[in-house]
A = this chain, B = another copy of it.
Amino acid sequence: MKTEIKTDAKGKKTVLNTCTEPCAIERGMRLIGGKWTGSIIYHLKDEPVRFNDLCRMLGGASRKMIDQRLKELENNGMVLRSVIDTRPIAVTYSLTEFGRSALDILEQLRVWSESHSDN
């Protein structure tokens, strides 16, 4: 996210784009900004949660979406998938240290969003 605005002797401005693609903010958003991604991370903050419980928590999201997002999060190293081989099988999802490191941002976002719900 480096951009310089150069101003010459006559006051004319030139914008230099030195922004590496994709920018840090965009990269970060692609990690936690997907549909339901932030909510999933947030719901895993206290304890491991099972797949179907997560579905119930995220009432508006389809199972396919949640499955997809969980795989992304697993691939990005933010979520850990644990299989407990009972019958029927049980699978829990929990946050890795990396995943946990995103909680501050999400909490701040939640507070910000709620404080502006009056618009």
- In the complex, A41 Cα to B33 Cα: how many Å? 15
- In the complex, A77 Cα to B118 Cα: how many Å? 12
B116 touches A112 (CB 8 A): no
Q: Is A113 an interface residue (CB 8 A)?
A: yes
A26 touches B1 (CB 8 A): no
Neighbour of A113 across the interface among B19, B24, B104, B113, CB < 8 A: B24
B59 touches A1 (CB 8 A): no
B98 touches A104 (CB 8 A): no
Q: Is A86 an interface residue (CB 8 A)?
A: no
- In the complex, A39 Cα to B2 Cα: how many Å? 11
Per-residue contact bits, chain A 23-49, to B (CB 8 Å; 1 contact, 0 not): 111111101110110110011000000
- In the complex, A76 Cα to B68 Cα: how many Å? 29
